Structure formats: structure tokens, C-alpha cells
């Protein structure tokens, strides 16, 4: 027979919107996010013995998310995730860990007649800012911040050659190709001792998100990329260098292929090599390249 070796439960897809109104300037700032709350602790009997006396209802977790959002800043999401998770481990004696995941959706201020509009916003793409915060009672708070679904493309400045060539290989060496990917990047912070330590670091969260995005864009655009692997490794190293509180950086990048189309069958139309202009974007299959670069602890000694 089996035994319960892991258990956590909670509310997923809690959608929250919050407006901040600056009465002096009559300017609004809005935030929208999707939250997942999962709790762990002395809850085994709810699974094994139908003992609901240990169950904080997932409905109450949803209510708590709204109340915490009303009573606390919800930006930066690292702070809100820590505040929300900390609440659960403080409030319930038998809950020893809270796992909070936040997906922040973009509402970018409109420019109207050349001026930033005080209360109108638009969704400028699918990119999300993401946070995973794991709050462990008495052991600190672990946070991974990140970017997901940031779709990028460069029309030149990317190569891929000198890879393994054997009896399974058809891909030719390429010295000029289209490179496109959907960036999923994250940076894991050194463990925070608790909510106060997160509050102390609060200015670093937006700063590091902005910097990581800038580094991603700059290296993607300016590098003569020899491979996705090498380019993402350099991005990781730059983010580590930019923020000393970051312990590790990870990227997961699909390689979204664009195939040349040979149109020579049509009156000798030239559309390959240096004449290639019309390509066929591929939806699948795609390459998928991942890495994590961790701070060399020896370097600090």
C-alpha cells in the first residue's frame, strides 16, 4: 500500500485588479495579476482520514488574496507574494509553507495627443512578469522573479554551424539566419530571512526586472549569435553581474524556425541564400534550449 508522500493545496487562477489613484495629479496606475496560492503543513489527515478540521478552505484563500490586496501594496509582485504567503504561515499554526505564484499582466499607459493619459491603458503584447515565492515558516523566503512569453525576432546576426555532422544530419551550416524565440527567463534571489528582508530589498525588484529585460534585448539584438546556447549563457552572466542579490539565472528559449522557400520552380524565381526574402514560419517542431547559471560561491570568498 502507499503512503501520502507529498501534499499541498490551494486556489489557482485568482484574478485581481487594483487601481492606485493619485489625487494630487488625478493620475491612476493599474495592476492586474493572476495568483496561485498553495499551502503545506499538517494537513495529511484531510487526505487520509477525511479530517477537514485542518483545511483552510480554498475559498478563504481567495478571500484572503483580495483582502491582502486591499490592505497592502500589490506592487512589486515579489513584495505582494511574500506578504500574502507570510500571512498564511503566521495566521495558521499548522501551516508551515506557502507557495505563491503571481503572473502580472501588462497595462501600459496610453499616449494620447503626445501626452501620457492619466487613466487609459493598453495591452502591449503577451509578455508577463512572473514571481514564484516560497515562504517557509522560520526558514525564510525564496523568490524567483521572471519574464515569460516575450516574443522576439532578429532578421540577421545569427549563425549556427560546426555542430555534430553524421549520418543523422541534414541541416546545413548556416552563417546568416533568422532567430526568433519566446523568452522565458528567471532570476532566483538569495534566500531572504523573512518579510522584513524582502521589504528592505523592495527597490531591487523593479530595478532588476528592468535591467534583465534590457540585457535580454541588448544581447539578443547586438550579438552576432553563434547559437541560442551561447547567447543565453551570456545573458545569464550579465544579469548575475548586474544584481549581487541574485544567486542564479535561468533561461528557457524555444528556437522558432523560419524556413527558406525554394521558388525556383516558378520561372527561376530566386528566393534562397542571399536572395531569400519570403520565408515559411514554422509552428512546430521547435528547438528548446534551457540553462541555469549559478553564482560561483567561491568567487565571493
Ligand X SMILES: O=c1[nH]c(=O)c2[nH]c(=O)[nH]c2[nH]1
Would you please indicate which residues are annotated as catalytic (active-site) residues?
11, 58, 257
Q: Whole-angstrom Cα distance, residue 129 to residue 82? A: 16
- Closest approach, Cβ 1 to ligand X, in A, equals 45
- Cβ burial of 288 (10 Å; 0-12, 13-18, 19+) is exposed
Nine cell digits for residue 187: 532570476
Footprint (CB under 6 A) of ligand X, residues 219-248: 227-229
Q: Is 164 in the site for ligand X (CB under 6 A)?
A: no
160 belongs to the binding site for ligand X (CB under 6 A)? yes
Cβ distance to ligand X smaller for residue 198 or 228: 228
- Nearer of residues 178 and 228 to ligand X, judged by Cβ: 228
299 contributes a contact to ligand X by CB under 6 A: no
DSSP string, 225-265: BS-HHHHHHHHHHHHHHH-TTEEEEEEEEEE--EEE---TT
287 binds ligand X (CB under 6 A): yes
Nearest to 186 by CA among 240, 126, 255: 240
CB of 157 to ligand X, least distance (A): 13
The binding site for urate consists of: 58-59, 160, 177, 228-229, 255
- Among positions 13-42, residues that touch ligand X (CB under 6 A) are none
171 forms part of the interface with ligand X (CB under 6 A): yes
Helix or strand (DSSP H, E) at 97: strand 95-105
If the CB atoms of residues 25 and 170 are measured against ligand X, the closer one turns out to be 170
Annotated binding site: 58-59, 160, 177, 228-229, 255
Handedness of CA 57, 59, 61, 63 (dihedral sign): negative
Choose between 171 and 278: whose C-beta lies nearer to ligand X: 171
Residue 177 CB, shortest distance to ligand X, in Å, is 8
Asked if 157 is part of the footprint of ligand X (rule: CB under 6 A), the reply reads no
Query: Closest by alpha carbon to 224, among 174, 287, 268?
Result: 174
Residue closest to 157 by CA, chosen among 235, 212, 219: 219
Site string for ligand X, 58-87 (x = CB under 6 A): ------------------------------
Enclosing H/E stretch for 204: helix 202-222
d(CA 277, CA 275): 6
Contact between 180 and ligand X (CB under 6 A)? no
Interaction of residue 255 with ligand X, rule CB under 6 A = yes
Closest separation in Å from C-beta 259 to ligand X: 12
Distance of alpha carbon 211 from alpha carbon 217, whole angstroms? 10
User: 3-state SS string over 286-298?
Assistant: CEEEEEEEECCHH
Residues that bind ligand X (CB under 6 A): 160, 171, 227-229, 255, 287, 289
Amino acid at each position: 500500500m502507499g503512503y501520502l508522500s507529498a501534499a499541498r493545496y490551494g486556489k489557482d487562477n485568482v484574478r485581481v485588479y487594483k487601481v492606485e489613484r493619485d489625487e494630487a495629479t488625478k493620475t491612476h496606475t493599474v495592476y492586474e495579476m493572476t495568483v496561485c496560492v498553495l499551502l503545506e503543513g499538517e494537513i495529511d489527515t484531510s487526505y487520509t482520514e477525511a479530517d477537514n478540521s485542518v483545511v483552510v478552505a480554498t475559498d478563504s484563500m481567495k478571500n484572503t488574496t483580495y483582502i491582502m490586496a486591499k490592505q497592502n501594496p500589490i506592487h512589486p509582485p515579489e513584495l505582494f507574494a511574500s506578504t500574502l504567503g507570510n500571512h498564511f504561515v503566521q495566521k495558521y499554526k499548522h501551516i508551515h509553507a506557502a507557495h505563491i505564484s503571481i503572473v502580472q499582466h501588462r497595462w501600459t499607459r496610453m499616449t494620447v495627443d503626445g501626452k501620457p493619459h492619466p487613466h487609459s491603458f493598453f495591452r502591449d503584447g503577451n509578455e508577463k512578469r512572473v514571481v514564484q515565492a516560497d515562504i517557509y515558516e522560520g526558514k525564510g523566503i525564496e523568490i524567483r522573479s521572471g519574464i515569460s512569453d516575450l516574443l522576439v525576432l532578429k532578421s540577421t546576426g545569427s549563425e549556427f554551424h560546426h555542430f555534430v555532422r553524421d549520418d543523422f544530419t541534414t541541416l546545413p551550416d548556416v552563417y546568416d539566419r533568422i532567430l526568433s524565440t519566446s523568452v522565458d527567463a528567471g532570476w532566483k534571489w538569495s534566500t531572504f530571512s523573512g518579510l522584513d528582508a524582502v521589504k528592505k530589498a523592495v527597490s531591487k525588484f523593479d530595478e532588476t526586472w528592468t535591467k534583465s529585460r534590457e540585457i535580454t534585448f541588448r544581447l539578443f539584438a547586438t550579438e552576432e549569435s553563434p547559437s541560442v546556447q551561447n547567447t543565453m549563457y551570456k545573458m545569464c552572466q550579465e544579469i548575475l553581474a548586474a544584481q549581487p542579490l541574485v544567486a542564479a539565472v535561468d533561461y528557457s528559449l524555444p528556437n522558432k524556425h523560419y524556413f527558406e522557400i525554394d521558388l525556383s520552380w516558378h520561372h527561376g524565381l530566386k528566393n534562397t541564400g542571399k536572395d531569400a526574402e519570403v520565408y515559411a514560419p514554422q509552428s512546430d517542431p521547435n528547438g528548446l534550449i534551457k540553462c541555469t547559471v549559478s553564482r560561483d560561491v567561491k568567487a565571493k570568498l
